[in-house]
Amino acid sequence: MSDRLGLSTVLRGILGTNNVYYQPPDSVIMKYPAIVYSRDRIKRTDGDNLAYLLNTSYTVTVIDKNPDSSLVQKLAELPKCRFERHFVADNLNHDVFVIYY
């Protein structure tokens, strides 16, 4: 859990606000621009038939009204982060990344 909280701190630093949400329920009213993230998968590396290393990846979505948001570039520059796709929903631009943290 400390890794997730560390990632949350990094994302808040990039965004410059507290509009960072971890698996928000439908009842949460988000303020934009925002970053939404959730755990995607855990990659397990074994050694001597035991879990030697666990690497957690997160799906991180930048949501902004601005289609040319500088947040996309800032997030793309993070280590172990890759851009997945872009889509528009409800007149908001969504840029989806996968990051290992």
Residue pLDDT, tens place only, 26-59: 999 999 999 999 999 999 898 888 888 889 999 9
pLDDT at 63: 98
Q: Convert the pLDDT of each residue in 71-98 to its tens digit.
A: 999 999 999 999 999 999 999 999 999 9
Domain spans of the chain, in order of start? 2-51+62-100
Using the structure block, give the residue that is written with the tokens 């799906």: 59
- Tokens 């889509």 belong to 87
User: pTM above the 0.85 mark?
Assistant: yes
Tokens for 20, please give them.
Answer: 């960072």
